[in-house]
Each structure stands twice: as C-alpha cells, then as structure tokens.
Structure 1
Amino acid sequence: MPFNTALTRQLGIRIPVVQGGMQWVGYAEMASAVSNAGGLGIITALTQPTPEDLRKEIRKCKSMTKNPFGVNLTLLPALVPPDYAAYAQVIIDEGIRIVETAGNSPGPVIKQFKAANCTVLHKCTTIRHAQSAVKLGVDFLSIDGFECAGHVGETDITNFILLSRARQSLKVPFIASGGFADGQGLAAALSLGADGINMGTRFMCTVEAPIHQNIKQAIVDAQETDTELVLRRWRNTSRLFGNKVAKEAVKIEKESTSGKFEEVAPYVSGKRGRQVFLNGDKDYGVWTAGQVIGLIHDIPTCEELVKRIEREAIDTLKQAQTLYIEEGTSAPGTVGPKTNNPGAEIWGVGRSKL
C-alpha cells in the first residue's frame, strides 16, 4: 500500500481520494464504483426524497461494494428544511461509520454522529469555520478552495493559501477539495499538508457517473473559464457551469434595480438542474461544476481514473525527490552550496530527502 496517511488509515481505504457528495450524482452506482476502485465513495443523503429512501440506497450500495463508503449530509437554508435528524439516524442505524457533513449550523447532527462513533469529515471554505468545526469534535476537515463547484463561500480564497493556512493552524487532519483531477494535484495537496483530496466534478466525468453522456462530454469540451459565480448579490455564491441559463441569471443579478431574489429564482431552480442530468440538455437548467473542468479531457471508469491518479501521484513525488540534494553535493548544471556563489545557500532547503 503506497499511501499511508491519516485518511487511509482511519477510513480503511487504499488511495487518499474521496468522492464529493454531489446532489443528483451521489447514488449507490457512483459511490460503489469509487470505493471499489480504492477511494472513498459517498452517497448524497438529500438526493433521496425521504430518510427511508436513503436507507434503501445505502443497502443497495452495500450490495455493490464490500469496501468502506460514506454518506454526505448537507444542511442548507430552506423554507421547509428536511428532517436532518431522521436522515442522520438512518445513516447510523444502517451501520455507516463515515459521514461527510457540510452547511450551516451542523452542531446537532455532528453531535448525533459522534455519539454513534462515526468518523466525521466536515467541509469548510474558511479557516474560521474549520476551527469552529474542530470544537464540535470532527475527525477530518475538507478544506474547500474558491475553485470548487457549488457553494464557494464569500471569501474568494484559493486552495494554495487555504491549505497552507490549514497546515499552520488546524489541530486535526484535513483533505483538500476544489480544483483536483489528477495525481499531480494529489501530490501537491500532500506536499501542502493535506492527507488526501476530495473530487466532485472529476468523478462526474466517469463512465459510472449517473448523468447523461452529453453532460459528461460538455465537461470534457469545457475550459477552466467556463463557469459562472451566481447569487453573489445575496451572499449565497455558487459556482455553476457557464451555460445560457447561468449567464442569464448573472446578467439579471447585476442589472436588477430592485435586488429581489424572485427575479432570478426561476433561473436557478434545482428541479431544472436535476433534469439536465437526465435529458442531456446542458442549457436546460443550472448545474454545478468547478474550474477543474479545464483539466478534464476524457471519460474513464472510476477504476481507470483512480489507478491513474495513484500512478501519477507516486511518479510526481518520486520526481520531486530528485530535486533534493545532499549537503556538500551539487545537482548537474547547478551551483552547489560549496561554491562561492552568494546565492548558493538556496540549496539549504534541500538537505534532506523525502
């Protein structure tokens, strides 16, 4: 087992790669495929209309993989909020011991999960929120950079800064989320102090993802610039695929003189977004996608993707070792520390090998 991080040890997985809990994507087919490939698959609880439907989906996933998988429970503002406690209890009753939480005021459900000895991964977009989650007793933090799909927070801080801040200030292990699609990204995240990565958009573009082939192809064809930030005016910013509907929503949002959410509401309907994944019309409604779409160029199986990420990460970390030199030696064609060159002390950072 080449990877040995806090994430692989505690979750019992082979590769430190977690599938994001994506609405209308995180079904048993998706989660089991990722878990069978050696990562951690995630069922999205609120994709199921009732707690009992979630129970059936969990049991279906158990029949499709013998490897660990988790369930995501996201708490978001709603006029009629779901019965989060009931969803949580089903997760516990079905013996799921890995849970990804996200959203507002997660304290009560985190307490419920911790009382049942569940391992809790909580998603955050700021260090301040991460520190609050630590006080609630979470086991891992998923640090979401501004590059990510869906809710990006309101601070616009990218992962390069967030991960280093997490390394400096957090007392629990963390994984990196937002902008990851390959093994080079995994190697970078590990180098910045993370214990693994979380990928959503990349897993949408796999054979097993339960969405229309046209949408997968739209991701392959897209550039990193093909996303839109919607609902900034109401401080509920989401990164969406930059289709016709999302662009029209942004236009209304910027030009509205009243500032009433009702003007843009029809354009950001979740129901229409769900239909996109079924009918294959990328412009039918809004759907989430991260800037990582610019790094996605094929539609592999989850097995092929995870194996590729594993191989790329190992090769990248091995290559990085060659950049480190022993004290008293010089890399070919470079100035070593024993010369009289005033800048030679820069090699001091590389005096021990990985």
Structure 2
Amino acid sequence: MPFNTALTRKLGIRVPVVQGGMQWVGYAEMAAAVSNAGGLGIITALTQPSPDALRAEIRKCRALTSFPFGVNLTLLPAMVPPDYPAYARVVLEEGIRIVETAGNSPGPIIKQLKAADPPCVILHKCTTIRHAMSAVKLGVDFLSIDGFECAGHVGETDITNFILLSRARQVMTVPFIASGGFADGQGLAAALSLGAEGINMGTRFMATVEAPIHQKIKQAIVDADETDTELVLRRWKNTSRLFKNKVSQEAVKIERESTTGKFEEVGGLVSGKRGRQVFLNGDKDFGVWTAGQVIGLIHDIPTCEDLLNRIEKEAIDTISTASNLIVDEQPPADIRGKKAGEQGPTDAGPNVTKSPWNSKL
C-alpha cells in the first residue's frame, strides 16, 4: 500500500523516508540499499576526497540500484573550503537531479543546480524557520526541518520538532519533511499528521546491516539511551550533537572551564579524522561522532529493506488506529463506582463523600 505524499510523487519513491547525508556513512552501498528498499538513498559528496571520486561513487551506486537516489552537498566553514561548484558540476554531469543541501550560504550552489536542464529537485536542511524562509526565496523544492533532537549541527535556537514542524506548517509555502528524532513508523505517522510530507533519518540508518561502519559502533547505538548524546562547541556557536563518549565529554569539560576560549584547546579532540577512525576501528571512544537522541529508540540492526518495510507497516497501522478514534456518537464513560451524590459515609467522617475520581476501580 504505497504512500501518496508530495515527496513520494516528486521523487518517485514508495516510502516517504529520506536517508540523510552522513559524513563517512553516505557511500554508494548505503544509498543503494535505502533506495532499493523503497526510500531515497543519499550519497554524501564530501565523504569523497575529490569531485572525480564523487563521480566514481555515483556510477557505483547506479550499478547497485535502478531506483532514484540523490547526493548531499553540505557547505560548512573551512580554512580551505572544498571546490563546491566542481562537486555540483559532477552531480549534474552524472545526471543526478535530486540534491540535499545544507549549511551556510547555499545560494550560489542552488542556483547552479537549478540552472540544469531539467533542474534539480532541492531538499534543503534548516534548523530555524527564519533560515527556511530564506531558502524558499532561493527556489528550493522541499525543506528538511531539522529539530533540536537531531544529530550533528543542531543550530543555536534549541527548538524541538514538535514546535518546529507546527511552525513550518503554519508559515511555509513549500512542502517540508521532518528530520531529527525519527526511527519508526509511529514517528512517520506523527510527522505526516503535523504537516510533513515524509521524514529524514540518519542515526537510525547507521544501525543497519548495510551501514558501512564497524559492528561495534552499531551495537553501541543499540545499547545507548536517549540521554547518551553530548552538545559540543556551543561556546563557539557551532553546536553539534555527538555521541557521549570519553572524547566528547573531555571536549565539553574544556569548553566549559577554559579561561581563554580558544577553539584550539578542543580542536584536536573534535577532529573529523579521529571521528572517521571510530567507524573503521570500532572503538567508540577513539574520537567524536554524531548521533541523535533517537538512539534511545533503536533496539536492533535490521537490513534497510526490513527497516523500511517495518516503518511502512507501522505507519499505516498507526494512521488506521488513529482514524478509529473518531466515532459517530460519544460512548458512555467507563469510570466505575457511584456518582458523588450516591456515595455513603467514608472513613473521613459521616458527612464526607468520596469523589468518583478517587473511588476504587
């Protein structure tokens, strides 16, 4: 029973679930597995060391799936920025027409992607309504509304998805998807009820058979609770939600206690190179790595196919159950016990009667 949302119609996918672009995770095998399972797989462009390497990865993914997939381009501050236009040019030359963008000043890249024939479908990630409305002016097709629960860059406003999605529903003029805190069909059903056209999942896809990370890290996600994340780099207004381990906790301690406020004091601890090694060597405490609060909802390591089939069924069952709450006539109350005026004396005194709310059931 396929879904019919603006996202599924536009992208040609069966289940309205997008695999978020994840650094060191969004390789061809991951993206192809999600797309083959009915969602939208995403290759992370900057996981590749060069535009030519991205070209090879796109071709590899195309050999693994005949279904739609996209590419993530995240624009972040750097001493030596990547050649974003070159990466975008490869995306276009390889015929990719679905791109997830995120980060700072995406205008030039979005303009480049939209100038293609046919133009790209752009899904742009935002953590605030203000940024979302700016992205609308740039011509994006979908907004990926990223709540404070999410992994990685959470923004600085700390607005959780229940409010953020409702605000998006009130003011957005383009369709949006929900990102941050989603792992199951109940979450998908909730997002659809709040006005979203689908969901974006990152951490949940890390704990799948096909995710290209060490089994011990997948198990660490399964074993974790929703409290096992850490907010790092808040002092420098570059807040990231990371898995709570020895390194992230040390970074937070320095951040809070430093008298100089120099980023260099934590720079070595939050190095992306150390984080990448975590996924290769399986040592969860070797470096920092992103994880959302949704880790508390993850209890197994299924294949992408099993996961999306489960999410699809759970969402349909949840929506069906919710629709059954609407009835033609209000049923009688099922509180047992006599009405207050019919109660006899109580232990509190001969003239005191029990409230039906306090009577034994």
Same fold (TM over 0.5): yes
Give % identity: 82
Q: How far 1:108 moved relative to its partner?
A: 0.3
Q: How far 1:324 moved relative to its partner?
A: 1.1
User: Which residue number corresponds to residue 283 of structure 1?
Assistant: 285
CA distance in 2, matches of 1:255, 1:243: 18
Task: Please say if 1:175 is aligned against 2:177.
Answer: yes
CA distance in 2, matches of 1:90, 1:63: 17
Deviations 1:290-316 (A, max 9, x none): 000000000000000000000000000
CA distance in 2, matches of 1:205, 1:332: 46
Task: Please say if 1:253 is aligned against 2:255.
Answer: yes
User: Which residue number corresponds to residue 348 of structure 1?
Assistant: none
User: Which 10-residue stretch deviates more, 186-195 or 111-120?
Assistant: 111-120
CA distance in 2, matches of 1:128, 1:330: 42
Deviations 1:178-204 (A, max 9, x none): 000000000000000000000000000
Matches within 5 A, 1:1-354: 1-116=1-116, 117-326=119-328, 329-331=329-331, 333=333
What letter is aligned with 2:100? E
CA distance in 2, matches of 1:82, 1:91: 15
Q: Secondary structure at the match of 2:268?
A: helix
Q: Secondary structure at the match of 1:96?
A: coil
What letter is aligned with 2:305? E
User: Which residue number corresponds to residue 342 of structure 1?
Assistant: none
Q: Secondary structure at the match of 1:73?
A: strand
CA distance in 2, matches of 1:220, 1:198: 19
CA distance in 2, matches of 1:148, 1:288: 9
Q: How far 1:2 moved relative to its partner?
A: 2.9
Q: How far 1:330 moved relative to its partner?
A: 1.7
- Structure 1 stretches of 5 or more lacking a match? 336-354
Q: Secondary structure at the match of 1:102?
A: strand
What letter is aligned with 1:192? L
CA distance in 1, matches of 2:331, 2:318: 19
What letter is aligned with 2:16? P
Q: Secondary structure at the match of 1:56?
A: helix
CA distance in 1, matches of 2:28, 2:283: 24
Q: How far 1:331 moved relative to its partner?
A: 3.4
User: Which residue number corresponds to residue 345 of structure 1?
Assistant: none
TM-score by length of 2: 0.91
Deviations 1:55-77 (A, max 9, x none): 00000000000000000000000
Q: How far 1:334 moved relative to its partner?
A: 6.6
What letter is aligned with 1:60? K
Q: Secondary structure at the match of 1:87?
A: helix
What letter is aligned with 1:11? L
Q: Secondary structure at the match of 1:78?
A: coil
TM-score by length of 1: 0.93
- Structure 2 stretches of 5 or more lacking a match? 336-361
CA distance in 1, matches of 2:317, 2:185: 9
Q: Would you say how many aligned residue pairs link Structure 1 and Structure 2?
A: 333
Q: How far 1:333 moved relative to its partner?
A: 3.9
What letter is aligned with 2:264? E
CA distance in 2, matches of 1:71, 1:332: 55
What letter is aligned with 2:154? V
Deviations 1:112-145 (A, max 9, x none): 1111110000000000000000000000000000
CA distance in 2, matches of 1:12, 1:334: 47
Deviations 1:55-109 (A, max 9, x none): 0000000000000000000000000000000000000000001000000000000
Deviations 1:221-249 (A, max 9, x none): 00000000000000000000000000000
| Structure 1 vs Structure 2 CA RMSD | 0.9
Q: How far 1:151 moved relative to its partner?
A: 0.1
Q: How far 1:271 moved relative to its partner?
A: 0.2
